Amino acid sequence: MKIGVVGLGLIGGSIARAIKQHTNHVVCGVDTNPAVISAAYAAGAIDTDTDVSQCDVVFVCLYPRDCVSYMLNTEFKDNAVIADISGVKRFLAKEVAEPLRKRGLRYVGTHPMAGRETSGFEHSDADLFQNASFIITQDEHTDEDAQALLSQLAKELGFSRITACSARKHDEVIGYTSQLAHVISNAYVKSDAAQEFEGFSAGSFMDLTRVAKLNPQMWSELFIENGDILVAEIDELIGNIKDIRDAVAAKDESRLRGLLKRGSDIKETLSRED
């Protein structure tokens, strides 16, 4: 099978590397940066960099709006499976699912749940997806054979869990588990105290600031295109923080203990479910 990978950054590059290392499929890599193409050839991550019009499966690994533009303006093989790996799914499905279907193509939204704080092909890794989760979004129009093909391919690449859900369910969960976490981390490091922690920082600081370093262009798109869900999560967070803030300001130790215990109990329950 010939597989196209469009956008050879961290995730796209890792998909290409994983295909070459763990399968016998042929990889066609596409990137606008000639240096990246050269690096991909040198790493043995791609077999060709010609157009993807003869590929059976194409992973589009671009920013959300670039995904839309590429999928709507590129010629693909008849009946090919076209899969974006974007972190927002309703936006992509709304823009491309019907137009691609009318062209005789099988669109499937996917999201590899793996990553690093670093970006670019130079940080890609054939084993990035080992034991990670692979999300496939579906609706009444999703081609079952295409979904099954991507599920099998994901397993070959090292994913240990394949999760199928609606695009809305994906965006709701990711809005909380990923996007809100990046908002919190990014806001947290803006404190003046962040410049004066040398000698005082421990695991809590490192854990909370890990994802503060992000790609502003990509994450801005992800936040905006999932804005309704993310804003609701931010509002709930602000309310929870205000409850603790007000209890501290009022020196209401009994109320504060109750608030902290509730959070601790929830975390303990979640830990047992992991």
125 in helix, strand or coil? coil
For residue 38, what pLDDT is reported?
Answer: 97
pTM of this structure: 0.91
How deeply is 108 buried, as exposed, middle or buried, from its count of CB atoms within 10 A (0-12, 13-18, 19+)? buried
Domains annotated for the chain, with CATH where assigned, are: 2-165 (3.40.50.720), 170-271 (1.10.3660.10)
For residue 207, what pLDDT is reported?
Answer: 86
The tokens for 107 are 């669109």
Give the relative orientation of helices 216-225 and 64-72 as an angle to the nearest 10 degrees.
80
Average pLDDT, 10 consecutive residues per value, the chain (274 residues): 97 97 97 97 96 96 97 98 97 97 98 86 96 96 97 97 97 97 94 72 81 92 98 98 98 98 94 74
- What is the spatial order of strands in the sheet that 81-84 belongs to? 26-30, 2-6, 57-60, 81-84, 106-113, 133-137, 161-165
For residue 115, what pLDDT is reported?
Answer: 80
